[in-house]
Amino acid sequence: MTRRWTTSTPLLAALALGCASNPPPPMIGGGTPERAPSGEVDRADEVRITLANSFRATATLTRRDSIILTLPDGRSQLQRMARSATISVQLAGDGQLRVRLDSLAFMPPLGEATRDAIGTTWQGTLETDGIHGLRPDRRNGITEELTAAIQELLPAFPRAGARTGTAWQDTTESTRRVEIFDAKDQRRTTWKMDSATTLEGIEVHPLTVRERYEQLGEGKQAGRTMRMSAQGVRSATYYITRTGMVDRIVQVDSASRLITIPDTRQAIPTTQVVRTTVEWRYR
């Protein structure tokens, strides 16, 4: 994956100037919020958040898909799918990430393919600009598609951390499994840290994401080659605690796709909306 990183944050620049005589800010980790100097108010919005540098957790992902197909006769067909997965996540202090698929369910069921995927382990590295080098020890359509979901479990985050109002951007180029298609994927993402709020009695800092992407891919189904082009938008909120733990993720991904079958010269426009929630529990 190729990633280009741009921080467009006047606040970060001001912090860098104001702290020139102090030691540089920590790398990802350290999860302990800064204390305000004596005599100042330690307000939630003034706390700099950095992602925790090590933890063990269980994440439960729930995803619901709505797909509208435009048939050759002009009629529309609505398809609904759902899936849920429970995964174990372990992050070591050196950034090494290990993820294991503990359970997986599809509706409608996929049978043996689902059972074969359970127990798959992914390994990668968490850096300030996201997860790198994520690879499963088993390869099939399900595990390759899950790789993209795992890639989004932890956000890209500035080296110096973030306070309320901090915003940054990055662009990525990668390959991604999209259902039956192996696709080239290009994304431009804007991140922003919003004001602290309370979620089920826990103070959290919402990190909002707005991402636009384009995809171009090819796959096979029933022996036929199929091609896909897509444009979409992903909107997500990561709720992060003061100690740098992701508590919850709420995400909506909307895409317009054109699927073509070269052999028959058939074109099938589709619109897909994916709603995903992730609940974290730390050990």
The 10s digit of each residue's pLDDT in 209-246 is 999 999 999 999 989 999 999 999 999 999 999 999 99
Cα–Cα nearest to 47, from 156, 129, 166: 166
Between the alpha carbon of residue 116 and those of residues 6, 100, 140, 157, the distances in Å are 40, 13, 9, 34
For residues 186 and 227, give the distance between their C-alpha atoms in angstroms, rounded to a whole number. 17
In this prediction, residues 240-259 reach a mean pLDDT of 97
Give the helix/strand (H/E) hosting 49: none
Tokens of 159: 């080296």
Mode of pairing for the β-strands spanning 167-178 and 2-7: antiparallel
Query: What is the pLDDT of the chain when averaged over all its residues?
Result: 86
**Residue 175 Cα distances to 3, 6, 144, 181, angstroms:** 12, 21, 10, 10
Confidence of residue 30 (pLDDT cuts 50, 70, 90): very low
Q: 2-15+50-282: which CATH topology?
A: Lipovitellin-phosvitin complex; beta-sheet shell regions (2.30.230)
How does pLDDT run across 118-171, given as a tens digit for each residue? Answer: 999 999 999 888 899 999 999 888 998 899 999 999 999 887 899 999 999 999
Question: Closest by alpha carbon to 188, among 209, 205, 162?
Answer: 209
Number of Cβ within a 10 Å radius of residue 275: 15
